[in-house]
Amino acid sequence: MIPTIEWKNDTVRMIDQRKIPAVIEWYVCRSCEDVIKGIKSMVIRGAPAIGVAAGMGLALGALSIMETSYGSFLRAFRDLADEMLLARPTAVNLKWAVTRMICLVEEMKELGVDQIKLRLKNESLKILEEDIAINRQMGQIGQELIPEKAAILTHCNAGSLATGGYGTALGVIRAAHENQKHIKVIADETRPWLQGLRLTAFELMEDSIPVTVIADNAAGLLMRRKKIDLVITGADRIAANGDVANKIGTYQVAVLAKANNIPFYVAAPVSTIDPSLENGDLIPLEEREAKEIYQLEGIELGPVGVNALNPAFDITPHEYISAIITEKGIIRHPFNEGISRLF
Ligand code: MRU
């Protein structure tokens, strides 16, 4: 498995996901601004990976704060955090990681600024390590839902690259594979950014897990022909009632799964749950540049000047979700009760 992100010699390096699978290359960030740019431009993407990057970005930014008194350091750090919060709006893991880093600074009033900087760096490394451990745990818990032989449909990339490592939805798939289950994966290509074709297929092929890519609009036919036994996706944010924000197109897959009596599972760490939002309609959904729809690597696919709309995420209402897999166990209906027990 190639790494997603690491701290090296006071830089943060991310594998540039815009270039996979053609080129495997590090994108080196020397400042918090570089990390923010990397998140905005999808060098790194996927909710938990964005959380790890936000933590490391702030730790990196702290190193360049010149203030020596605690009060001025905290003010400068909060400014960086405010910038970081604007990087991408939907994945709550970003806010979660930023809050964790700010709380840490607030707890360290008694320490010198140099010590605070060191602790911030260590905390960001801890977020990365914890994320990998959480994904492995979630994988073990979730794979119990997978039959001995199964064709699993997934949407977008909820794999190692979308996290600190191992993956959420792909973590469950990896764990089933490691437990010798005979699984094959059907990966939606995931228009327009093609996370399914470029990243999910790449990761699974690297691990020798059988994978077949389909156009997003082929999922219904395959379900009706009984070629799919279950669906697993990741999530960018889960509201208190179990509504899920995930990559655009997830909602359609969930509706099709229900119409065809196929279980639809969501795998996500507790840090992806936002209990402060009562339902999915309150989740901010990112809209990305229209050119992602009508251009491919700079080539115009449509008539020049065409209007296009590019919502990057949608909401799957909880009634379409069979269960939510977390590192703390499997949550079933009624989700609001299971989720409130977690917090
Ligand atoms: O726009 P992206 O690629 O960041 O969107 C990613 C997704 O929607 C993933 O499915 C989600 O973050 C879960 S990742 C473990």
Q: Strands across the sheet with 273-274, in order? A: 273-274, 237-239, 244-247, 313-316
Q: Which of 70, 103, 137 is the last residue of a domain?
A: 137
**SS3 per-residue string spanning 213-233:** EECHHHHHHHHHCCCCCEEEE
Looking from the CA of residue 313, the nearest atom of ligand 1 is 8
Which parts of 21-135 are beta strand (E)? 26-29
Q: Are residues 127 and 212 in the same domain?
A: no
Spacing, Cα 227 to ligand 1 middle (Å) = 25
Collapsed DSSP state (helix, strand, coil) of residue 77: helix
Looking from the CA of residue 91, the nearest atom of ligand 1 is 12
- Mean pLDDT over residues 303-318, rounded? 97
Q: Could you give the percent of the chain with pLDDT greater than 70?
A: 100
Q: Domain total for the chain?
A: 2
Looking from the CA of residue 45, the nearest atom of ligand 1 is 4
How many CA atoms are closer than 13 Å to the CA of 156, on its beta-carbon side? 30
Answer yes or no: is the C-beta of 195 below 6 A from any ligand 1 atom.
Answer: yes
Both tokens of residue 282? 């309150």
Q: Are residues 235 and 315 in the same domain?
A: yes
Q: For residue 302, count CB atoms less than 10 angstroms from its CB and return exposed for 0-12, middle for 13-18, buried for 19 or more.
A: exposed
Best of 92, 154, 161, 246 to mutate for ligand 1, by most ligand atoms within 8 A of CB?
246
Q: Give the Cα separation of 232 and 246 in Å (integer).
A: 12
State the chain's mean pLDDT as an integer.
98
Q: Are residues 144 and 232 in the same domain?
A: yes
What are the tens digits of pLDDT across the range 93-118? Answer: 999 999 999 999 999 999 999 999 99
Q: Which of 110, 137, 164 is the last residue of a domain?
A: 137
Query: Which domain does 91 fall in, by range?
Result: 5-137
Spacing, Cα 220 to ligand 1 middle (Å) = 22
Q: Are residues 128 and 113 in the same domain?
A: yes
The dihedral sign for the CA sequence 268, 334, 243, 276: negative
Q: Which of 137, 153, 173 is the last residue of a domain?
A: 137
Q: Are residues 108 and 178 in the same domain?
A: no
pLDDT higher than threshold 90 for residue 272 = yes
How many CA atoms are closer than 13 Å to the CA of 247, on its beta-carbon side? 25
What are the tens digits of pLDDT across the range 137-175? Answer: 999 999 999 999 999 999 999 999 999 999 999 999 999
Looking from the CA of residue 163, the nearest atom of ligand 1 is 15
Best of 156, 193, 198, 253 to mutate for ligand 1, by most ligand atoms within 8 A of CB?
156
Spacing, Cα 114 to ligand 1 middle (Å) = 35
Answer yes or no: is the C-beta of 234 below 6 A from any ligand 1 atom.
Answer: yes
Collapsed DSSP state (helix, strand, coil) of residue 125: helix
Best of 195, 288, 293 to mutate for ligand 1, by most ligand atoms within 8 A of CB?
195
Q: Are residues 152 and 234 in the same domain?
A: yes
Q: Give the Cα separation of 89 and 151 in Å (integer).
A: 33
Q: Are residues 78 and 148 in the same domain?
A: no
Angle between helix axes 70-85 and 47-63 (nearest 10 degrees) is 150
Q: Residues 16, 34, 236, 243: which is the catalytic one?
A: 236
Q: For residue 12, what is the enclosing H or E element?
A: strand 11-15
| Confidence at residue 215, expressed as pLDDT on a 0 to 100 scale | 98
Under the banding of pLDDT at 50, 70 and 90, the label for residue 263 is very high
Predicted structure pTM score: 0.97
Q: Give the Cα separation of 76 and 71 in Å (integer).
A: 9
Answer yes or no: is the C-beta of 45 below 6 A from any ligand 1 atom.
Answer: yes
| Confidence at residue 297, expressed as pLDDT on a 0 to 100 scale | 87
CATH of the domain at 121: 1.20.120.420
Q: Give the Cα separation of 252 and 275 in Å (integer).
A: 24
Q: Are residues 240 and 176 in the same domain?
A: yes
CATH of the domain at 210: 3.40.50.10470
Q: Are residues 314 and 191 in the same domain?
A: yes
Which parts of 159-270 are beta strand (E)? 182-188, 211-214, 230-233, 237-239, 244-247, 264-267
Catalytic site residue 236? yes
Q: For residue 123, what is the enclosing H or E element?
A: helix 113-142
Q: Give the Cα separation of 107 and 95 in Å (integer).
A: 18
Helix and strand totals (H; E) in the chain: 12, 16
Which parts of 48-197 are beta strand (E)? 149-154, 182-188
Q: Are residues 61 and 182 in the same domain?
A: no
Spacing, Cα 175 to ligand 1 middle (Å) = 20
What are the tens digits of pLDDT across the range 130-146? Answer: 999 999 999 999 999 99
Q: Give the Cα separation of 279 and 275 in Å (integer).
A: 9
Q: Are residues 297 and 312 in the same domain?
A: yes
- Mean pLDDT over residues 17-35, rounded? 98
Q: For residue 330, count CB atoms less than 10 angstroms from its CB and return exposed for 0-12, middle for 13-18, buried for 19 or more.
A: middle
